[in-house]
Amino acid sequence: MENKAIKVENLTFRYPDAESDTLKNISFELDYGEVLGIIGPNGAGKTTLAMALKGLIPHTVDGEIQGKIIVDGKDVLKHDISEQVLNSGLVFQDPEGQLSQMSVEEEVAFGLGNIGVPRAEMVKRIEKALQTVGLAGFEKRSPLALSGGQQQRLAIASVMAMEPSIMMMDEPTTMLDPVGKNEVFKVLKSLKEKGMTGVIIEHEIERLTMYCDKILVLHEGESILFGTPKEIFSDLMLLKKFKLRGPQVTEVAYEVFNDKEQIPVVLDEAVQSFSKELKA
Ligand SMILES: Nc1ncnc2c1ncn2[C@@H]1O[C@H](COP(=O)(O)OP(=O)(O)OP(=O)(O)O)[C@@H](O)[C@H]1O
């Protein structure tokens, strides 16, 4: 039996008064336990797609939508937004903008209260979520007194505690300094190891290759490429056609290796390929 975490079929969307479609006939599937990275230039439609997967489109953001979106077995276009909260959690770019409560533990509790999680269960979930993102011991602090990386980890904990079947993140590290970025990527890596199903919009291609199972490349609202990081990033010529770059190791290796089948897309792989080349 077919059981996909996400199934998108011929999704087309147009904002009210827009002259053209922002999403054009997009189709892809994601299995449970897989992480999808969405990349593409500014204005390609990445955030719009994330909002559609989450059900914000069309339930809170208006527009003309066609096609099918099934997330965790539910038809997003037919279900009310309140049901989507349980389905998929969304972490945004701006860490401070998504925090509103007085203390770290209240921040995590807030969403749980909204979905009616009983008190005892809430305490357990808060502890587990803060532990996972490395914020145990910060329960009583003000979210606003945290660093950017800590704030974003708190935002992730708040979403995680709701136990959504799919975690969605829209550029969760873009506004962070290198230390904050590393902190968040470490958390994402550990969530991935725990079997998280996720969707992440991210500009840091090097990072994406490390923990995404699939990559979707959007360009002017169209899904131009979909596949494994290896399939997508080793074809540099194709990426360049759409003004995208590959991981740095791939770009360097492309100049060195004749056998394009052997082009690495992650650092570990590159080290192996280069040492083999040097020995040859
Ligand atoms: N509410 C809206 N009404 C009309 N057009 C919109 C609206 N929101 C976004 N758009 C347009 O839809 C297109 C896709 O925007 P979107 O934010 O989804 O792209 P993106 O790939 O996430 O870009 P970025 O990388 O800059 O965040 C853009 O042309 C944008 O101007």
At 199-254, the pLDDT tens digits run 999 888 888 888 899 999 999 999 999 999 988 888 888 888 887 887 887 787 77
The predicted complex's ipTM stands at 0.97
Task: With a cut of 80, say whether residue 171 has pLDDT above it.
Answer: yes
pLDDT for res 140? 95
Ligand 1 site residues, Cβ closer than 6 angstroms: 15, 18, 22, 40, 42-48
In a 10 Å sphere around its CB, with 0-12 CB exposed, 13-18 middle and 19+ buried, how is residue 97 labelled? exposed
Task: With a cut of 70, say whether residue 20 has pLDDT above it.
Answer: yes
Q: Report the greatest alpha carbon distance in the chain.
A: 64
Query: Span 250-266, mean pLDDT?
Result: 73
Ligand 1 pocket: which of 12, 15, 51 to mutate (most atoms within 8 A of CB):
15
Atom 27 of ligand 1 has which residue's CA nearest to it? 42
pLDDT in tens, 120-140: 999 999 999 999 899 999 999
How far is Cα 234 from Cα 265, in angstroms, rounded to an integer?
6
Atom 3 of ligand 1 has which residue's CA nearest to it? 15
How far is Cα 258 from Cα 50, in angstroms, rounded to an integer?
38
How far is Cα 211 from Cα 171, in angstroms, rounded to an integer?
15
